[in-house]
Amino acid sequence: MTVSGFTFNAFSENTYLLHDSTGQCVVVDPGCYDAAEQQALRSFIDAEGLQVVLLLNTHCHIDHVFGNKFVLDTYRVPFLIHEADLGTLRAVPTYAPAYGFAQYQPAEPTGFLAPGTPVTFGDTELEVRFAPGHAPGHVVFYHAPTQVVIGGDVLFQGSIGRTDLPGGDHRTLLESIRTQLLTLPDEVTVYSGHGPATTIGAERRSNPFLR
């Protein structure tokens, strides 16, 4: 599985395309808000000859869902989140204008993710791990063969997700990191929702929030 990343919107959010040798592709956390960002995502997909088959959200804070409607309108694919984050998603239109994003267009999921039930596309199978704390329905996606985890806003290089937003809880987040991420091998690369990629081993050794 190949991970291609893009950094979008004023929050510098990382959007990921997951694709494999079959050409099938999953969009994770599309943060593309304006036309230029939407075109950047579509141009890459077209240039690589990818077939988008699924839209996933690790969680549904505003910066991770800007592009949901665009992806759904463009590619007409299933859209999955964890059901516990449905309220987070539906709250976005109530505060988006106050953040300067009056053009935000909401989109409803077509189904829900279930931890323990894998997500599949092409020749790829992703393990779904439930990791609340930053958001009540946060999940991460783990691909063991390539030792990759798409971690959303749970764990960052040298930091962890904020827990002062509605539905956040610091103790719950630390427990999620301990049970859902630090149980993975040190070599696993963590593709975070913001900032550079890191590894489980690097964060286990030096992340000040995990000591």
pLDDT digits (tens, 9 = 90+) for 85-138: 999 999 999 999 999 999 999 999 999 999 999 999 999 999 999 999 999 999
- Cβ–Cβ < 8 Å for 135, 88: yes
Rounded Cα distance between 126 and 116, Å, is 10
Name residue, tokens 């994003």.
101
Contacts of 73 (CB under 8 A, 6+ apart): none
Q: What is the pLDDT of residue 211?
A: 85
pLDDT digits (tens, 9 = 90+) for 129-180: 999 999 999 999 999 999 999 999 999 999 999 999 999 999 999 999 999 9
Pair type for strands 189-192 and 139-143: unpaired
Rounded Cα distance between 3 and 8, Å, is 16
What six digits make up the tokens of 97? 């204008």
Rounded Cα distance between 100 and 26, Å, is 28
CATH number among 3.40.50.2300, 3.20.20.70, 3.60.15.10, 1.10.3720.10, domain 2-210: 3.60.15.10
